[in-house]
Structure 1
């Protein structure tokens, strides 16, 4: 089954299904990650709706949403959940060049307020397929992917490879962001490593979080995700190995 799904308004939309997880594998066509869903064309909306997407988790900040303009193209057709992973609590972290990109990710994931818990809960409770997105579909989307896949027992190397998959789309992402004045201004102050998708970044993030939390599940619990939601996440996303 195709992992990457071509759309007109987005360049980084893909399926998180198929990865081996604890007790089975991640169900195909159940969880997606993406870049700028707010730029979907009418044809894209039809394509996304055909995937049985019922829940969209928007990881952008209030600042970004206000400047991207207009209603979300999927507004009224799906449940829209706002979960600003980078917010007033931690916005300064991405510009802190005393930290590596992986360390910035880790600090952000530990200081999202309720945003990380809100995103994970929305994924677990989605009546159909869910998709989460930010502007580039790399940093914040990568953090949520790592938390969800890691909690479900997906191997580190698969989480790392999925993050690095964005690398092939970085040129298109940069070109799209450059068309928007708000992003041109914002990214002028973002360290250059924030526009990379190296395998070492995700590998270091996983090692950093594991050293201080033990497991991704423990991280989620520390961020306010109840065990009942983690169990529901597993039920929703993991297709068990068939009994012979």
Structure 2
């Protein structure tokens, strides 16, 4: 089955199904990751409806949402929206802290994002249909959530790393898209250069860093408030034999 799904209004939309997990594999056409969705065309919206998408998890900040797009969201009225700002007032400065590696920044963000990570995972676990989670580029915040979810399902590290690094082929188009939007046109020049990469070694370091403190990705999710009942529901929803 095709992992990357071509849409007119996104440049980094793909399925995270198919990976081998503990007890089976991740269901296809159930969980998707993406860059921002506010430029979806009517044809794109119809495609997402055909895919059974019922829930959109927006990992961006309130500022980003307010400054991207005009008028109603292309999916308004068709899906439920969950706001889960992984980067927020509590950890806003971490991404710019170049005394840490990019992986180190990811780890600190995941551990200091308040309820956002737990809210996102809970929404995925309880969604009545397929779910799309996204940030602006579909790389950093989206990559963190993807790693947390796939890791909690027992997906092999090499597959999680490949899932993250796959964004590398789309980085040029992502950069072009971000530079023409008001929420990013001024700040883009000040983003640390490593934040515009998608190297497999970054995810490998992140996974090792998180395990050193939490044991595994289920341990991380437990530390941020995800209960065992939610983790069991997540597995039941996403893993099939």
Instruction: Give 3-state SS (helix, strand or coil) of 2:56's partner.
Output: strand
* Structure 1: gaps spanning 5 or more residues: none
| Residues 160-204 of structure 1 deviation map (CA, whole Å, 9 limit, x = unaligned) | 001000000001101111111321212222101000000000000
Instruction: Give 3-state SS (helix, strand or coil) of 2:186's partner.
Output: helix
2:21 counterpart of 1:21: yes
Instruction: Give 3-state SS (helix, strand or coil) of 1:176's partner.
Output: helix
In the aligned structure 2, how far is the partner of 1:17 from the partner of 1:218? 22
| Residues 186-232 of structure 1 deviation map (CA, whole Å, 9 limit, x = unaligned) | 22221010000000000000000000110100000010111100000
Q: Which residue of 1 aligns with 2:4?
A: 4
Q: Which residue of 2 aligns with 1:79?
A: 80
Q: Which residue of 2 aligns with 1:214?
A: 215
Q: Which residue of 2 aligns with 1:53?
A: 53
Which moved further from structure 2: 90-99 or 179-188? 179-188
* Structure 2: gaps spanning 5 or more residues: none
Deviation, 1:41, is: 1.1
In the aligned structure 1, how far is the partner of 2:165 from the partner of 2:117? 21
Q: Which residue of 2 aligns with 1:231?
A: 232
TM-score (norm 1): 0.97
| Residues 31-83 of structure 1 deviation map (CA, whole Å, 9 limit, x = unaligned) | 00000112211111111111000010000100101111333211110110000
Q: What root-mean-square deviation, in Å, do the aligned CA atoms of Structure 1 and Structure 2 show?
A: 0.7
In the TM superposition, structure 1's runs of 4+ consecutive aligned residues that sit over 6 Å from their partners are none
